[in-house]
Structure 1
């Protein structure tokens, strides 16, 4: 049964992070940062011309982005202050169109790319 579930997961058109995610790479990341600093770092991920920031709300800690090019993606980044100097960052990425071999691995790689960039800018909470 696990093999079928893995195969079906490959064709999912969205991927998101969470605290209790079964995949360690897709668990929420926590950074030693004030809300404003983490929010600006996440917003900076989408500063290139291939991204279009649709909306941003500092109060809710939410940034909505469209990635143009291949593949076209819709991204929701959430920045939540857990404690003073501890901020959680989560992503939800969905694809407009599927691929023959599935899109889930592409979406997961995109999330890992964003986390890798944030890890270089912000200090992770252990």
Structure 2
């Protein structure tokens, strides 16, 4: 049964990070920083990426929408939420309409992990996923 599930996942064209992901690398990341600090860092991260174009920024909703051109065209929504005064969560939702005979999931997953790695260099990581 899990082999069939893995095949379906491999061909998934959408990934959303959350506290409830089975893949721990795709769990929500929490940073020791204010909402404004993290939101600014996320916005700058995508402004400086030549493969990305910010479509909309809604600080009131804590969301940034981004079009990504390479390696495959996809659309990303970043959500930044203040959990406590100095703890802010970051989640990603990435999707693509492109088809790949080997499946898009590995490519999309790798991209999300790279964004978290970049954020980990900018802010102190408090935890990954929901606290126990």
Note whether the superposition's TM-score is higher than 0.5: yes
Q: CA deviation at 1:116?
A: 0.2
Match of 1:59 in 2: 60
In the TM superposition, structure 1's runs of 4+ consecutive aligned residues that sit over 2 Å from their partners are none
**Could you tell me which residue of structure 1 aligns to residue 110 of structure 2?**
109
**Could you say which residue in structure 2 is the equivalent of 1:12?**
12
Task: Give, in whole Å, the separation in 2 of the partners of 1:97 and 1:106.
Answer: 12
1:2 matched residue in structure 2: 2
Between 1:72-81 and 1:44-53, the stretch displaced more is 44-53
Q: What's the CA shift for 1:96?
A: 2.3
1:69 is displaced (CA, Å) by: 3.1
Stretches of structure 2 that go unaligned for 5 or more consecutive residues are 128-132
Equivalent residue runs for 1:63-102 within 5 Å: 63-102=64-103
Using the TM superposition, give the Cα deviation of residue 73 of structure 1 relative to its aligned residue in structure 2, in angstroms.
1.0
Q: Give the superposed CA RMSD.
A: 0.9
Deviations 1:27-54 (CA, angstroms, capped at 9, x unpaired): 0000001001000111122122321111
> TM-score by structure 1 length?
0.96
Cα distance in structure 2, aligned partners of 1:51 and 1:100: 24
Q: Calculate the TM-score normalised by the size of structure 2.
A: 0.92
The aligned residue for residue 39 of structure 2 is 39
Partner of residue 22, structure 1: 22
Offset at residue 98 of structure 1 (A)? 1.6
Kept in 2: contact 1:74–1:96 (CA 8 A): no
How many pairs are equivalent? 126
Deviations 1:81-122 (A, max 9, x none): 000000000000111202110000100000000000000000
